[in-house]
Structures are given as C-alpha cells and as structure tokens.
Structure 1
Amino acid sequence: MTVSARSDRGLTFSAKLHTAANTDPARPVIELRRGGRALAGSYLYEGDGLITGWHSHEVHQIEYALHGVVEVETDAGHYLLPPQQAAWIPAGLEHQAVMNPDVKTVAVMFDAQMIPDTGLRARIIAVSPLIREMMIYALRWPIDRAQSPTEDAGVSDDFFRTMAHLVTEALDHEAPLSLPTSDHPIVAAALAYTKEHLASVTAEDVSRAVAVSERTLRRLFSDTLGLSWRTYLLHARMLRAMALLAAPGQSVQATSSAVGFDNLSSFTRSFTQFCGETPSAYRKRVAGEKA
C-alpha cells in the first residue's frame, strides 16, 4: 500500500485499526490526533484499494476524492463521492470507507467544538473551488502533528476556523447522492447483490439470490426503504456512472454498458434526468475542473 509522503508515520486506516484504543473491537474509535492537541488537521491517502472496516473518530471529518472513487457506508446509508462532492462524517458516527484502486483523497478533521450541533448523520455536500483549495492547502498541517516550540499555532487555528465556517454553510445545502441501507437481512442481501451486478441484474436474479418471490421483494423494498427495487437500481446505476465518467479515458458508451444500459440514448436520457446534464457534458466538466 502507498500512502502520502508521511506514510512512515502510519497515517493509514489499516494501521490505525490495530492501534487505536476502543471499547468495541468490531467498531473501534480511531484517535486520529494520536494524543496531539491540534484543533484541526488533515491527511492524504493515495494508493491501492482499501476497505477500512467499521470505526468512528473523535473528530469531525470531511473527505474529498481528488481522483478515483470513494464510498462511505453508515448504518443509515451508502454514499458515493462523485467529483465536486465530499462526505461529511461527524464525530462519533460509526462508518466504513471503501477506497477503490488508484484513489487519492484528502480529508480535513475538526475538533467537535469547532462545528457544533451538526447532528449524528453523514451528509454529501458540494465542494466549492474555495473549499477544495483550502483542503489541499491544509495538508501542510497533519492532524497528528506535534506542537513544536516554533510553530505559530494561531495561523493554523485561524485557517481552520475560517474553513469550519465555510463547511458549516455547505452543510445547509447537502446533495442527496446516497443509497439507502437496511438492517433487514433479506433487503440487505438484495441491496448488496444488486450493487454487485449492476451491468446485468434483474428483479428475477435478485429474488432468486435472496430466496424470495419477486412480489415479496417488491413489498419488502416498499415497506422497509420506501422506494421500489427498480428505483434503487436506477439510482445505484447513476451514482456508479458518475464515478466511472470521472476516470481518465472512460467513454460514455463504455460507462453505459458497465451500468447495464443496452441503449446509449436511454442511458443519456436517464443520466440527464438524474444529474441535470448529459454524460458528455458531465465528463467534460469534471475533466476541466481536475485540470
């Protein structure tokens, strides 16, 4: 695994999961500050695919994928980070992250007192160009840094307080880019099977995989999630398409096939209705903003 230039200091989730003090071995509390006193700080992850496992933090976190795909799961929802979107994970919220191969993410953490009363739920928020550049600039102040005698803590604290105000404003305009989860065993299995087979899945396939009738499957989705299986499938396909189109060299045609559309015009119509722009326009915009 490759992490940032500071990898020798162990700033990876996999290392943290073995060293953090915790009360629940299955869902440990990760002490990202490692005993430090910083009000806020950052970390950079880049490298191979990684599933962090379930955990929580003692600090608030906002995570943004500079490139690649990141997925965040909580007990309440499954979130995918397309370009220009970041995941807000409040202190104490149990979650796990899936870092897909070749991902590069930057995260900024805040002491809970800096952004109070955010509610104990994850959110997807829009990342303005200003917040994005501030997140990158924040990498000079790692979250686990020790306070040196020569460091001007006031500079970093003022920087992060300003950023905290911007993040607080962004939280008022969250983006509904998430998929529901369920603790119902049959529904949970159906959700997982659907996500794993987006290119070709049918209701019949899912019903067979979870050993219920299609009628029962439809009823369970309606009763437990408040939406149909077909609606869930469409949303899962659109979120996956957004992630795929953000990858360099990914064509609209290949994306359409990868998420289960045989007809390119049908995919374009569905994507445009979901995202407010065509797949080609979305891909061009994302490529331009990355540049």
Structure 2
Amino acid sequence: MITPAAHPARPAVLPIDQVDGIARPVVAAGAQYRHGAVQPWHSHRRAQLLYGLSGLMQVITADGAWVVPPQHAVWIPSGREHQSRMLQAVTTCSAFIEPEHAPRVASSCQVLAVRPLLRELLIEATRMDPHYVLHSREENLIRLLLDEIGRAEEIPAHVPLPPEPRLGELCHRFLAAPSIRSGPAQWALQLHISERTFSRRFLAQTGMGFQQWRLRACVMYAISRLALGQPVTTIAYDLGYERPAAFSTMFRKMTGHMPSAHPAAQAAPARAD
C-alpha cells in the first residue's frame, strides 16, 4: 500500500524492496533523504530514472560521477552498480523500468533535464496503485511517461573517472576540492611520470583531455555550491579564479547559464543577510 503524500507536490512512498515483485513494466516510487545521507553501493535489476524533486544529489559509478541539480534526473541503466550521496535534503521520484521497456539505450548514467510534463507524470505515477489495471488510463500514463523519458535532453554533468587506481585517487581528491590552478605537471610529478605520458594516459582513460576534465569538474563542484545558496564570488575565488567575471564566463560557456541563473541557484535556499 502506498503511503498518502503529506504535501500535494510530494510523491507517495513505496518501499524499494517491493518494486521487483510487482508485475508491471514500470513501477514508480517516492523517497525522502536527509542532508548527508549516503546510499551504499548497489544495483537494480530494473533501469531507474531518479528525479530530484528538491535538493541536490551526486551519483557515482566505477566510471564517473554525476551531480544532479534540483529539477533534474539521472538515468541509471539496468544492473549498473552505483552509490548516491545527498548533498542536500532530497525528495525523489523514481521510475523503475523493466530492461526490455527501457526507453534509453545508454550503457552509462546520464543526467537529464526534466520538463514540466515529465515532472508531473513522475509525480502522478508515484500516486497510482502500483498494480494498475492494464488497458487503463494509468497504463496510458505510463506509456506517455516512457516516451517523455526517451525524449529528455541529456546535460553535460558527467565527470569520467579513470580505472587506474593511482590516477583515480588523484581524481577523487580533486573532485573534493577542485582548482583551475591544478595543472598536468603537478599530477605527473605525483605519479612519477612525464607530463606528456600523463596527458596521453589521462586522455586514454577518461576520454577527455585534462584541461577539459578539470573545467567539467569545477563546474560540477560550482553547481553543488550554488545549490547550497553560496555566493558566486566566493565559489569563484575558491576555485582559483582571480576575477569572478572570468568564472562566470567559463560557467556560461559550459552550461548555457550564468551562475546566478542556473537551475541549481534558482532552487537554492535564500541566504540570510
């Protein structure tokens, strides 16, 4: 039995361990997590669309990390082992989809922009009886939900991680405290290899040049800080920029938004003056 929602915009809750036993192509469930909560490494037999109705999440797999701003979702393919971290208190809607009905073919996670129709379909799906009657309005709604998931636009929120342990450790440390001042020569020195060898190895293992990867990591970090309501100037200086305007220009080129206009910043709690 689904627990009634306490708020008109809040999804009803279905225990995750009940999902696989329901003989329907799609089962929707809501959940709420406190700030700092971590879901340990796990995988699902079904594919999952994990939508953040509010709050900020980070999803990590063996091959990368994704920051999921409010009003965005992450597509997690069937069987993909992952860990979720809640960078704020988070309310989620999830659609768990049988692999043969998956509307996306990506083999790795994707962060997706959620338009109003998809958002309302996800919320409504969590309020339906999970044993919805076939050939009914509810089944039609699920079909439309799958269509909208397939059409959703991917946004560049992926920071790939290399499989080599020593290089991977440096990447994880950088993600925790990124800086544009960190250069390939410093990384090569720590790995006891030449800068040329480092650059070649980094590209081969991540699919991105180091500078492109560094900018992507800085943007993802900035988004997480914006979602917490922190000032653009503070974020810029913490990332190593001498002029906040330079940071804002880079951020706009990478995301299509000025920092203060990004969805993460718009959904952030108001700061006390």
TM-score between the two structures when normalised by the length of structure 2? 0.79
Pair 1:222 & 2:203 matched:
yes
Q: CA separation in 2, counterparts of 1:158 and 1:267?
A: 46
- Could you say which residue in structure 2 is the equivalent of 1:160? 142
Q: CA separation in 1, counterparts of 2:137 and 2:226?
A: 39
Pair 1:246 & 2:233 matched:
no
- Could you say which residue in structure 2 is the equivalent of 1:235? 216
Match of 1:187 among 152, 167, 182: 167
- Could you say which residue in structure 1 is the equivalent of 2:10? none
Match of 2:151 among 169, 191, 197: 169
Tell me the C-alpha RMSD between the 2 structures.
3.1
Measured after TM superposition, the shift of residue 157 of structure 1 is 2.5
1:137/1:275 CA distance change after superposition, 3 Å: same
Q: CA separation in 1, counterparts of 2:115 and 2:149?
A: 10
Pair 1:265 & 2:252 matched:
no
Answer yes or no: is the 8 Å Cα contact 1:187–1:220 preserved in 2: no
Structure 1's consecutive aligned runs of 4 or more residues displaced over 6 angstroms after TM superposition are none
1:32/1:38 CA distance change after superposition, 3 Å: same
> Deviations for 1:113-138, whole angstroms, at most 9, x for unmatched residues?
33367243322222111111222222
Answer yes or no: is the 8 Å Cα contact 2:103–2:150 preserved in 1: no
Q: CA separation in 1, counterparts of 2:179 and 2:18?
A: 38
Measured after TM superposition, the shift of residue 206 of structure 1 is 4.2
1:59/1:133 CA distance change after superposition, 3 Å: same
Measured after TM superposition, the shift of residue 87 of structure 1 is 0.8
Pair 1:35 & 2:21 matched:
yes
Q: CA separation in 1, counterparts of 2:265 and 2:164?
A: 39
Q: Tell me the SS of whatever aligns to 2:40.
A: coil
- Could you say which residue in structure 2 is the equivalent of 1:127? 114
Answer yes or no: is the 8 Å Cα contact 2:178–2:218 preserved in 1: yes
- Could you say which residue in structure 2 is the equivalent of 1:16? none
Q: Equivalent pairs: percent with the same residue?
A: 25
Long gaps (5+) in structure 1: 13-30
- Could you say which residue in structure 2 is the equivalent of 1:68? 55
Measured after TM superposition, the shift of residue 284 of structure 1 is 9.0
Answer yes or no: is the 8 Å Cα contact 2:41–2:81 preserved in 1: yes
Answer yes or no: is the 8 Å Cα contact 2:47–2:99 preserved in 1: yes
Q: Tell me the SS of whatever aligns to 1:53.
A: strand
Answer yes or no: is the 8 Å Cα contact 1:245–1:283 preserved in 2: no
TM-score between the two structures when normalised by the length of structure 1? 0.74
Measured after TM superposition, the shift of residue 101 of structure 1 is 3.6
1:35/1:136 CA distance change after superposition, 3 Å: same
Q: Tell me the SS of whatever aligns to 1:45.
A: strand
